[in-house]
Structure 1
Amino acid sequence: MNSHEHITQFFTRHGVPHSPTEIFQVQLVEGDHPPRRSSLMRRDYYKIALLLEGEAIITYADRSIQVKSGTLIFSNPLIPYAWQRITEKQRYYYCLFTEAFLHNRLKREIPAAASFFKVQGDHILFPDTTAQERIIRIFDLMLQEATGDYAHKHDVWRSHLQLLIHEAHKIMPPDSEYTRTTSAARITELFLELLARQFPLIDARQQVGLKTAGEFAAQLSLHVNYLNKSVKAVTGHTTTELIAQHMAKEARAMLQNTRWDVAQIGYCLGFDHASNFNAFFRRMTGETPHHFREKSTR
């Protein structure tokens, strides 16, 4: 299982002309390709896509979502996912960009950007026909800019990106909208990012480095009680509960997407003995790792 895909690897895989320093790309993709599934992995770039025609399945570590024409999809470097075509013919817009393109000023100016570009939030949206038309116009403006030689085209694209985020923000349900960021919310997001960045693992000899609330607190230079209080206030769950939930989610992903045996997966997640991992997995999911794997491969 691959761990990460660099933006240049994406361009090479899709045969897209690019320069080694490319930090933004926009395309309208049209064509027929055999249905296939990409590997579950994290990308080192951000991507926004509007599916115009066709169907696909997006698989995350803990769930799969079928998408069809009219779906707006956000992906970011924190969340591993796999894309599987269902229909041979697909048509979609996409823009992708690196962290270098999203400079700090832009991050501050985009309303509710955290919802799309962080671990938690709405990453798959279903705009109505009117919203789709507005989003298509924004992508068309991006494509027009790509054909020109304006010296400040990246600034223009950043403006288009802001408009795209605004359109997505309008689609979100009211309870997902932006609220004032507190210190507890910032700490919780840092904790969740740190937790997510440990995965996926690409080698059965790898092992997660942070497994307990105390280890995460030390990495964040916080007292463990302060971390626990902040996380509990924001999520309603303890730090230990969230770590366990994420470990169980990653365990399911590894059981589905690798051929590693149960003992190897347990080791990767920090369990020295397979029996301890089996007990943990059963407590979290209600079934044994072996039963879950057998059920998933039927």
Structure 2
Amino acid sequence: MTKTETLEDFYRQKFNWMPENIKKDIGHFNVFRLEDCMGPGKPPVQYSRRDFYKIVLMRGRHIYHYADKSLEVFGTTLLFFNPDVPYTFEPLSDDSSGYFCIFKEAFFSEHLKRSVRELPMFAPGGKPGYVLNTAQDSYVAGVFEKMEEEIKSDYMYKYDLIRNYITEIIHYALKMQPTENLYQHVDANARITAVFTELLERQFPIESPTQRFSLRSARDFAEHLTVHVNHLNRAIRSTTGKTTTEHIFERVAGEARALLKHTDWNISEISYCLGFEEPAHFNHFFKKQTNSTPSAFRG
């Protein structure tokens, strides 16, 4: 499985610093302006799960990919993300702005009668997108601004107040209906194929003998995308004419040829980093894909 993004990963990648209390504070919370984390010079949002919740007020035009679905959003959208579903953003315009907050489930666990993951917008299979008009944008932005102001304060009970602000946003959204036309993407097969390809390519190049190719089968990718393996296979075959396994094998064989040609790693090391438990399995795979043994190819 591809690594889940942790809070530590988030701070390291976005800001190159770490809050002092992040290890001790299992109920971590923070709030940010979107433009401070996205755009030129900032790392792209990777397609992966997170181990924290996120609420985003996003302005501009984007495509949000989660599981096997894609939402194309215009104007202002309120989005809710849970730790169970991998996602990423694809900006389609240069005018992105807004706010987002992140928090661990423990931030609420002692203060709500039920788990935050039971709320409709956070529930697995739920619809997390709400399109806002100008007045709604102004209202929700105002709540985010209060959170931003409070997080910087020395008020002893500021996190109790912030919990109330998050609850206010949640109930504001619950009074609305998720925006159905967000979920009518014209070519879901093409999108799931594109996300699969991104996940596959992100595992390469192999740059160290200790690095390991981890998503090795169609089932691995389906589990990561939270879709049924048959659905993934149908989508990729309908889009490319090849099976999921054929794409994986071709990419692994290509990386194997590159490592044999351009490194001095021994065949056991190459076998290991490409995910094979035994060099004999790698030899059999390579010969089937290339009609040559690894030793003959290198020689």
TM-score w.r.t. length of structure 2? 0.58
Distance change >3 Å, CA 254–CA 283, structure 1 → 2: closer
**Is 1:26 paired with 2:31?**
yes
Pairing of 1:244-259 with structure 2 (within 5 A): 253-255=195-197, 257-259=199-201
Q: Which amino acid aligns with 1:72?
A: L
Write out aligned runs for 1:42-81 (5 A): 42-52=49-59, 54-81=60-87
Match of residue 108, structure 2, among 96, 102, 105: 102
Aligned residues: 211
Return the letter of the residue paired with 1:40. Y
- Computing the radius of gyration from Cα coordinates, the structure with the larger value is 2
Q: 1:266 to 1:109 in 2, by over 3 A?
A: closer
> Relative to structure 1, is the Cα distance of residues 37 and 12 closer, same or farther in structure 2, using a 3 angstrom cutoff?
closer
1:41-95 alpha-carbon deviations (Å, 9 max, x no partner): 100000001013x322211231222223311111110110112222334211111
Give the counterpart letter for 2:138 in structure 1. E
Distance 1:254 1:77, change over 3 A: same
1:26-175 matched pairs, under 5 angstroms: 26-30=31-35, 32-33=39-40, 37-52=44-59, 54-106=60-112, 108=114, 114-172=119-177
Taking a change above 3 Å as real, the CA distance of residues 89 and 35 of structure 1, as seen in their structure-2 partners, is farther
Write the letter of the residue equivalent to 1:171: M
- Is residue 2:19 matched to residue 1:14? no
Structure-1 separation of matches of 2:112 and 2:126: 19
Residue number among 214, 217, 221 corresponding to 1:265 in the alignment: 217
Of 221, 241, 249, the match for 1:291: 241
- Change in Cα spacing, 1:96 to 1:286, as seen in structure 2 (3 Å) is closer
**Cα gap change, 1:38 to 1:114, in 2 (>3 Å):** same
RMSD: 3.8
Counterpart for residue 221 of structure 1: none
1:211 — aligned with what? none
CA distance in structure 2 between the aligned counterparts of 1:146 and 1:164, rounded to whole angstroms: 17
- Per the normalisation by structure 1, the TM-score is 0.59
State the SS of the aligned residue for 1:151: coil
Instruction: Supply the distance in 1 between the matched residues of 2:85 and 2:232 (Cα, whole angstroms).
Output: 25
Letter matched to residue 70 of structure 1: T
Q: 1:255 to 1:90 in 2, by over 3 A?
A: closer
Q: How much has 1:7 moved relative to structure 2?
A: 1.1
Q: Which runs of 5+ in 2 are unaligned?
A: 181-190, 204-212, 223-228, 248-299
* 8 Å Cα contact 2:236/2:243 also seen in 1: no
Deviations 1:271-296 (A, max 9, x none): xxxxxx8xx569855946852679x9
Whether the 8 Å contact between 1:40 and 1:80 is mirrored in structure 2 is: yes
SS in 2 for 1:79: coil
Q: Deviations over 1:113-161 (max 9, x none)?
A: 5212221212111122222221111111111111211112111111111
Q: What percentage of residue pairs aligned between the two structures are identical?
A: 25
CA distance in 2, matches of 1:50, 1:133: 10
Are 2:8 and 2:18, in contact at CA under 8 Å, matched by a contact in 1?
Answer: no
Alignment partner of 2:96: what SS? strand
The answer to whether the Cα contact below 8 Å between 2:35 and 2:96 also exists between their aligned partners in 1 is: yes
Aligned counterparts of 1:137 and 1:75: Cα–Cα separation in 2: 20
Distance in 2 (CA, whole Å) between partners of 1:265 and 1:117 is 29
The aligned counterpart of 2:257 is none
The Cα shift of 1:8 comes to 1.9
